[in-house]
């Protein structure tokens, strides 16, 4: 089940109890914005992204660690808070972009901090294959599929607090895993939905955008591997969200 909302990630995490998610895979802003950044065969206008390219504070990481049992955080080398939480290196994850040193505006590799006590691993995937980008920090579907294969288990609930291009949603769907994700930017949120809809059936996606998909889950007659209970939990969460949303718009009038 893929659940996507357009909202602030702090609001999303506040609705969930401690250790609700088995694994959080997040790609927060690093605060190292360039004026422009190439994406596929075009340049991004970074005005949209620059509004959100602010490094998350301690409050964000406290909430992230509260609601998730384990974390994989891209850009871990930029966040000193993570080093303070772990007395030793539990194993970094490296994406080697197979990039010629002569190209500009790209790093040769990206590093993720992991709370999982496993050896460091390197994923090699050419950045040139990551074409048709809709987000300046877009990760390929293949990278997320590899991460899920290496670090997630069947039945795990996955969290992403910065949906971005939505490629993690496609990977979770392909792996048969449940994902809860949010994106604060309307532009990227709508672009991600369009990209996700190319692969994921409409009936498998649930969001707070009434113009895109239904906000309710289909009724389940029988329980299979505890999924009925999971559906009921999600339905209740979405019911509360709709109530909060209605109150917000009522106050705004």
The pLDDT score that the predictor gives to residue 110 is 86
Q: What is the pTM for the complete model shown?
A: 0.72
Q: Average pLDDT in the 210-224 region?
A: 37
Which superfamily does CATH assign the domain made up of 2-215 to?
Vaccinia Virus protein VP39 (3.40.50.150)
Confidence band for 75, pLDDT divided at 50, 70 and 90: confident
99 is written with which tokens? 């990039």
The pLDDT score that the predictor gives to residue 88 is 53
* 126, 152 Cβ separation under 8 angstroms: no
The pLDDT score that the predictor gives to residue 136 is 59
Beta-carbon count within 10 A of 114 CB: 25
Confidence band for 72, pLDDT divided at 50, 70 and 90: very high
121 is written with which tokens? 């691993």
pLDDT digits 0-9 by tens, 84-139: 666 555 678 888 887 665 444 447 778 888 888 887 888 777 766 556 665 556 78
- Directed axis angle between helix 186-197 and helix 167-175, to 10°? 40
pLDDT digits 0-9 by tens, 127-186: 665 566 655 567 889 999 999 999 999 999 999 999 988 899 999 999 999 999 999 888
Taking the domains of the chain in order of start, what are their residue ranges?
Answer: 2-215
The pLDDT score that the predictor gives to residue 214 is 36
Q: Average pLDDT in the 5-12 region?
A: 92
The pLDDT score that the predictor gives to residue 106 is 46
The helix or strand, by DSSP H or E, that contains position 43, with its residue range, turns out to be: strand 42-45
Considering only 37-46, 136-145, 195-204, which range has the smallest mean pLDDT? 37-46
pLDDT digits 0-9 by tens, 221-249: 333 344 445 545 555 665 666 666 666 55
The pLDDT score that the predictor gives to residue 249 is 56
Residue 22 phi, psi dihedral angles, 5° rounding: -75, -35
Rg of the chain over Cα atoms, rounded to whole angstroms, equals 18
Confidence band for 40, pLDDT divided at 50, 70 and 90: very low
Higher pLDDT, 72 or 209: 72
């Amino acid at each position: 089940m893929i659940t996507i909302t357009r909202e602030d990630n702090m609001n999303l995490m506040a609705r969930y109890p401690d250790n609700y998610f088995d694994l959080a895979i997040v790609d927060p802003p690093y605060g190292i914005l360039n004026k422009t950044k190439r994406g596929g065969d075009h340049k991004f206008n970074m005005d949209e992204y620059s509004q959100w390219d602010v490094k998350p504070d301690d409050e964000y990481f406290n909430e992230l660690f509260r609601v998730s049992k384990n974390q994989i955080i891209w850009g871990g080398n930029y966040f000193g808070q993570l080093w303070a939480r772990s007395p030793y290196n539990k194993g970094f994850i490296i994406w080697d972009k197979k990039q010629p040193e002569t190209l500009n505006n790209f790093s040769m590799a990206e590093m993720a901090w992991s709370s999982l006590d496993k050896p460091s691993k390197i994923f090699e995937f050419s950045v040139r294959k990551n074409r048709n980008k809709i987000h300046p920090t877009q990760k390929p579907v293949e990278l997320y599929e590899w991460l899920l294969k290496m670090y997630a288990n069947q039945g795990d609930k996955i969290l992403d607090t910065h949906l971005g291009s939505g490629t993690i949603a496609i990977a979770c769907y392909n792996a048969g895993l449940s994902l809860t994700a949010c994106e604060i930017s309307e532009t990227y949120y709508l672009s991600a939905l369009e990209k996700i809809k190319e692969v994921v059936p409409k009936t498998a996606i649930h969001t707070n955008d009434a113009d895109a998909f239904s906000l309710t889950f289909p009724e389940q007659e029988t329980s299979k591997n505890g999924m009925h209970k999971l559906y009921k939990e999600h339905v209740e969460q979405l019911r509360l969200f709709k109530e909060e949303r209605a109150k917000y718009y009522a106050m705004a009038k």
